[in-house]
A and B are shown apart, each in its own frame.
Chain A
Amino acid sequence: MQFVIAFTLAIALMAADYYGQLMGSFRSLLLTTINPIERVATLPKHLYQLATTDFTNIDALKLENQQLKTELLLVKAKQQRFSNLQLEVSRLEALLGTAGQINTQSLQIATVTYYSNNPLSQYLTLDKGQLKKVSVQQTVIDAKGIMGQIIRTTPTSSRVLLITDPDHQIPVRIQRTGQRGILSGTGHDTTQLEFIPKNSLVEVGDLIESSGLGGVFPAGYPVAIITNVENKEGSPYFDITATPVADLYQSHKVLILSQATPYLNFDEKLPETPKEKPLELIPSTLGQTHVP
């Protein structure tokens, strides 16, 4: 009898979790329970790091400090250029009368406390949670590109599903051509670019960036680099393998981005934009447009 109850309950839970996503808070509760165990599991590694850090040569630390200072200088220079570009884009947009496309997103720095990399699940655990206003579906990046998105949160931690996880998909575009597709995880540190038709221009080495479609991931962040393109007979699409640009398992500090541009609420009134005269079509010169 107990087995029948356990069996039925397990099936019901699976259905509720898989189809309805109804078990979010229950899963968060379980995650909170398992959090201390995760911390204990990482203790040997932390102790090892602590022990090895103590024996690090002071010269090596000085060298690292120098390198970091140089890097900071370069980043600051790039930042200045970026600010100028941002201003210029805003000015051009104002001239064209279009809405601004650049979103300024708030960032939070978090530390990776645990990571798993096996064929079933590829995820990270971060040390920031609901208390720091981290919420589900926020994008996580490192210095090189997108790592994944937050799927569960507890008061003091959050779990990030990596882009290489078999359950993860992200809408992307090839930076060089603008061709859109879906990047799926394979479970083996690589990703697969899907739905790229065979008449597209794709090359090994092309950079894939987030397209922003779907409203979850912000647009324009690097995601992966194409490493292999196969033309399989009988399929209308290329078989494309890509390697993530982010250091998924080496990054210790990561950035949590605030939500990307939210979906438009269609009940909400859109802000009024200055009315422009519509394009006039001159019947005598059909096919030509005249801009007044």
Chain B
Amino acid sequence: MSHKLFNLKTSQARWVILVSYIVALALDTIALFGHSTPVIPPLTLFFLLYWCANFLDRTHLFSAFILGLLADTLYQTPLGAHALLFSIITFLMIRHRLRFKGYPVWQQAFFICLYMLLYQGLNFLFFNPILNSDDFVQYWTMPALSLFLWPLLAYSLRKFSHTAVNG
């Protein structure tokens, strides 16, 4: 099943990817709605990393840039800040995605955790959020949560894309 999916080109699954990005943005918006906590990882970046690791014929940097701009609008941060963060993380993923693809899911999750730690670190440097003690713990717990979230997401996206493309 996975072999069939991985041999696909981005153009064959364009709509699947687009729909998944819209869903991810909606989920991020729901996560931000009301009294949100900084423990929830950015799902748009999660989805982006998944497609970047599985569709090797494109760099996905354009998608990273556009999604970053939309994230800037959503989080009310300076325009281009999240675009830069997303581009950096995607670039790092591109550099070792061939090896990443070959890893078992738990090992992939470990690398995703490192990426999220880098994302949170850069986020902290860029935006310098004022965190109280509770927020501080939650903020730095986010990478650990992504460790558990990645296998779930990878499985769901694989299933979804397989159903959508192959019927």
Q: Please list the residues of chain A having a beta carbon within 8 angstroms of any beta carbon in chain B.
A: 2-3, 6-7, 9-14, 16-18, 23, 26-27, 30-31, 33-34, 37-38, 40-42, 44-45, 114-121, 123, 159, 161, 165-166, 186-188, 249
Is residue B34 within 8 Å, beta carbon to beta carbon, of the partner chain? yes
Contact between chains at B83 and A45 (CB < 8 Å)? no
Contact between chains at A38 and B35 (CB < 8 Å)? no
> Which residues of chain B are near A45, meaning CB under 8 Å?
33
Contact between chains at B32 and A37 (CB < 8 Å)? no
Is residue B149 within 8 Å, beta carbon to beta carbon, of the partner chain? no
> Which residues of chain B are near A159, meaning CB under 8 Å?
76
Task: Say which residue of A27, A114, A188 sits within 8 Å of B73 (CB atoms).
Answer: A27
Other A-B pairs, 13, CB within 8 Å; known A17-B79, A37-B22, A119-B129? A6-B87, A7-B84, A10-B80, A10-B83, A13-B79, A14-B81, A17-B80, A41-B29, A115-B33, A118-B38, A121-B75, A161-B76, A188-B135
* Complex interface bits, B11-50 against A, C-beta within 8 A gives 1, otherwise 0: 0000000000010011001101111111000000000000
Known: A6-B65, A14-B79, A34-B70. A119 touches B130 (CB 8 A): yes
Q: Shortest Cβ distance from A208 into chain B, in angstroms?
A: 20
Known: A37-B25, A37-B29, A40-B26. A119 touches B84 (CB 8 A): no
Most chain-B Cβ atoms within 10 A of its Cβ — which of A9, A13, A165, A187? A13
> Complex: how many Å from CA A16 to CA B64?
20
Contact between chains at A10 and B33 (CB < 8 Å)? no
Q: Please list the residues of chain B having a beta carbon within 8 angstroms of any beta carbon in chain A.
A: 22, 25-26, 29-30, 32-38, 59, 61-62, 64-65, 68-70, 72-81, 83-84, 87-88, 91, 94, 127, 129-132, 135, 139
Known: A26-B79, A30-B73. A118 touches B25 (CB 8 A): no
> Which residues of chain B are near A27, meaning CB under 8 Å?
73, 79
Which chain B residue has the least Cβ–Cβ distance from A188?
B132
> Which residues of chain A are near B87, meaning CB under 8 Å?
3, 6-7, 10
Known: A3-B91, A161-B76. A117 touches B34 (CB 8 A): yes
30 A-B pairs within 8 Å (CB atoms) are namely: A2-B62, A3-B94, A6-B61, A6-B62, A6-B64, A6-B83, A7-B88, A9-B65, A13-B69, A14-B78, A14-B79, A17-B78, A17-B80, A30-B73, A33-B73, A34-B29, A34-B70, A37-B25, A40-B26, A41-B26, A115-B33, A116-B36, A119-B38, A120-B75, A120-B77, A121-B75, A166-B129, A166-B130, A188-B130, A249-B35
